[in-house]
Amino acid sequence: MHLIFLLLALTYLGLFLLRWLLSLSYFKKEGKTACQAGFKEELYTVVQPILSGDPRLEADLLANLQQTADLEFFWLIDKSDPEAQRAADRICQNPSFARRIRLFLMDDVPQGMNPKSFKIAQIVKELTRPYMIVLDDDTVIDFSKMGELAAYDGRTAILTGIPYNHERSNFWSKLVAAFVNGNSFITYFTMAAMKANHSINGMFYILPVELVKELDLFGQIMDCLCDDLAVADYLSSRGIEIVQTRVTCNVRSTIKDGRQYGLQMKRWLLFTSIYLREHLDWKLLLLIALPSCLPIPLLLCGLVLGWPYLALALLLFAAKALWMFAYRRLILSARPHPAEIVYEILNDLLLPFLFLYVLVSPPLINWRGRKIRVTDGKIRYE
């Protein structure tokens, strides 16, 4: 048992260091090639499907507007969502914002259609600028890094950003933030370094408008449940490159209680299981799946062997969380809070159990008041 504990500890530490070194090497490499010519706002249109419900909706929408002067915004709002319409109307009372915003009031989405993809497909013909930024309504871009995109001008590719969650409202929101922050930088950058990045950050990505129109991209994936995976798979199958950029975006989700936390995590992990099933190879297994599973056997061995081994296991988890905290300080403009270290440790311990629960429970999620069976990535109502 002592040998098993030692092997588990060394594997956990070794894989973490390998992933971090790959992530850091990619981050630095992209930094050397990045062009700091300034962000050409006049070339881009932000397309945002907007749905009310989050208390920070208006603040998040304003945050992107306040950081820009010439960036165009298309806001897609349901006709049946008066709260979102009121938020948009209040923002549009500012003339400098109103001149850059086009409001589209959308009819109800037909059954079996992905709301985000369906809505975007309806307005693609209205896009006149060369590039579109697909952005969720709870996502705020760090525009100080957008000048780096000039390095990719002229490339027929999909550019994706790196998410983090700067959330401190309550325990459950902080736990979700720990899941995002503890995994995003060491997953997206690491897999990009291995040239195995088959996914995108669905909350924020950039596409050439001509390509979207030519392929009828969103029209082709309207029946897909995971729109980000569908976009990545559809474009990859046609030889379009996925480029992981260093541009960060803050994704803040207000999680009210433990039930909502469980539903959110189950949804994300079910989508992850679809991705693993379709793209599993030795790189994904070694660098993503295995490191996520190791904390529990390491902890159990520590419990069996006694408190010194248990303390050592916890020390390893704390060292990893502290290292990632320092890494985020290097990357992010917003300063992370030291309490994130504790929540990241909790997340690392909970994640294997959550994933096991997802594997043994019915693959159902509650989406917009409807139960959907998550099996092959299509929208299948119960």
Residue 378 lies in a domain: no
* Res 131 pLDDT > 80: yes
Domain boundaries, position 80: 35-277
Q: Provide the percentage of residues in the chain whose pLDDT is more than 90.
A: 61
* Res 110 pLDDT > 90: no
* Res 212 pLDDT > 70: yes
What number is the average pLDDT over the span 63-90?
A: 95
**Could you tell me which of 140, 246, 127 has the C-alpha nearest to residue 203?**
140
Q: How would residue 368 be classed by pLDDT, with cut points 50, 70 and 90?
A: low
Residue 119 lies in a domain: yes
Based on the fold, state whether residues 99 and 201 are members of the same structural domain. Answer: yes
What number is the average pLDDT over the span 188-199?
A: 93
| Rounded Cα–Cα distance for residues 3 and 363 (Å) | 37
pLDDT for 9 equals 94
Based on the fold, state whether residues 21 and 62 are members of the same structural domain. Answer: no
- Detail the DSSP E strand segments found in the chain: 44-50, 72-78, 101-106, 131-135, 139-141, 157-164, 204-208, 241-251, 364-367, 370-373
* Res 329 pLDDT > 80: yes
pLDDT for 150 equals 81
DSSP per-residue codes, 198-254: ----TTEEEEEHHHHHHHTHHHHTTTBS-HHHHHHHHHHTTTPEEEEEEEEEEE---
Based on the fold, state whether residues 13 and 52 are members of the same structural domain. Answer: no
Domain boundary among 277, 311, 341: 277
Give the highest mean pLDDT range of 71-80, 285-294, 344-353. Answer: 71-80
Residue 380 lies in a domain: no
Domain boundary among 251, 277, 303: 277
What number is the average pLDDT over the span 234-263?
A: 90
Based on the fold, state whether residues 268 and 284 are members of the same structural domain. Answer: no
Q: Provide the percentage of residues in the chain whose pLDDT is more than 70.
A: 96
| Rounded Cα–Cα distance for residues 253 and 338 (Å) | 20
* Res 371 pLDDT > 80: no
pLDDT for 365 equals 74
Residue 330 lies in a domain: yes
Domain boundary among 260, 277, 294: 277
pLDDT for 370 equals 67
Based on the fold, state whether residues 250 and 218 are members of the same structural domain. Answer: yes
Could you tell me the sign of the dihedral formed by the alpha carbons of 49, 50, 51, 53, in that order? positive
130 CB-side CA count, 13 A: 10
Based on the fold, state whether residues 272 and 285 are members of the same structural domain. Answer: no
pLDDT for 376 equals 66
Higher pLDDT, 333 or 178: 178
Q: Quick one: tokens of 52?
A: 């009310």
Report if pTM > 0.85.
yes
Burial class from Cβ neighbours inside 10 Å (0-12, 13-18, 19+) for residue 223 reads middle
* Location of structure tokens 């971090």: 20
Say which range, 19-23, 35-39, 85-89, has the weakest mean pLDDT. Answer: 35-39
What number is the average pLDDT over the span 259-268?
A: 88
- Torsion, Cα 105 75 271 161, to 10 degrees, reads 170
Say which range, 51-55, 97-101, 150-154, has the weakest mean pLDDT. Answer: 150-154
pLDDT for 54 equals 83
Contact 71, 61 (CB under 8 A): no
What number is the average pLDDT over the span 260-275?
A: 86
How many domains, the chain?
2
Main-chain dihedrals φ then ψ at residue 111, nearest 5 degrees = -60, 140
Residue 379 lies in a domain: no
* 159-180 burial: b if 16+ Cβ within 10 Å, else e: bbbbbbbbbeeeebbbbbbbbb
Residue 141 lies in a domain: yes
Residue 381 lies in a domain: no
pLDDT for 381 equals 64
Based on the fold, state whether residues 95 and 243 are members of the same structural domain. Answer: yes
Based on the fold, state whether residues 15 and 47 are members of the same structural domain. Answer: no
CATH number, domain containing residue 57: 3.90.550.10
pLDDT for 245 equals 93
pLDDT for 122 equals 95
* Res 377 pLDDT > 70: no
Residue 203 lies in a domain: yes
pLDDT for 37 equals 64
Based on the fold, state whether residues 309 and 264 are members of the same structural domain. Answer: no
At residue 76, the 3 state secondary structure works out as: strand
Based on the fold, state whether residues 55 and 173 are members of the same structural domain. Answer: yes
Based on the fold, state whether residues 187 and 302 are members of the same structural domain. Answer: no
Based on the fold, state whether residues 228 and 343 are members of the same structural domain. Answer: no
pLDDT for 34 equals 63
